[in-house]
Homo-oligomer: A and B are copies of this chain.
């Protein structure tokens, strides 16, 4: 499949399009991207994730991890030690998503100056 095969919604393809939107909406929520990046080098424990992702609350970390687990993108390993330990890790499918995600992150990093300048220019023009 090539990029040009992906056509958004001529009405007839609309039904096919919905699952894709569901997936994109999940990926594009507030925290999923950052969890992905945080897990890119291997398993990470719950509180380590929490420290690594600046500003995320315990609640949202839990919720987002559960959703990603449900989608089969990350796996959860519970060690019944005392104190308990839980590792989160990308699955094979999750790792296959890492390339596009990192491409986005790389783009954002490369273009932040351009964008900030565009904003300043826009704000002072009006």
Copies in the complex: 2
Q: Chain A: how many interface residues by the 8 Å CB criterion?
A: 55
Whether the pair A52, B8 counts as a contact (CB closer than 8 A) is yes
Chain B nearest CB from A5 CB (Å) reads 9
Query: Known contacts A19-B116, A118-B72; is A102 also within 8 Å of B6 by CB?
Result: yes
In A64-102, which residues have CB < 8 Å from any B CB?
Answer: 69-73, 93, 96-97, 99-102
Complex contacts, A96 vs chain B, CB 8 Å = 107, 111
A61 interfacial contact with B, CB 8 Å = no
On whether the beta carbons of A9 and B52 are closer than 8 Å, the reply is yes
Chain A residues at the B interface, C-beta cutoff of 8 Å: 1, 3, 6, 8-9, 14, 17, 19-21, 23-25, 27-30, 33-34, 37-38, 52-54, 69-73, 93, 96-97, 99-112, 114-119, 121-123
Q: Name the residue of chain B whose CB is nearest to the CB of A8.
A: B37
Name the distance in Å between A19's Cβ and chain B's nearest Cβ: 4
Say whether A70 contacts B122, CB under 8 Å.
yes
* A104 cross-chain contacts in B, Cβ below 8 A: 24, 27, 100-101, 104
Complex CA–CA separation, A29 to B116 (angstroms): 18
Decide if A24 touches B108 in the complex (CB within 8 Å). yes
Contact (Cβ within 8 A) A105 B6: yes
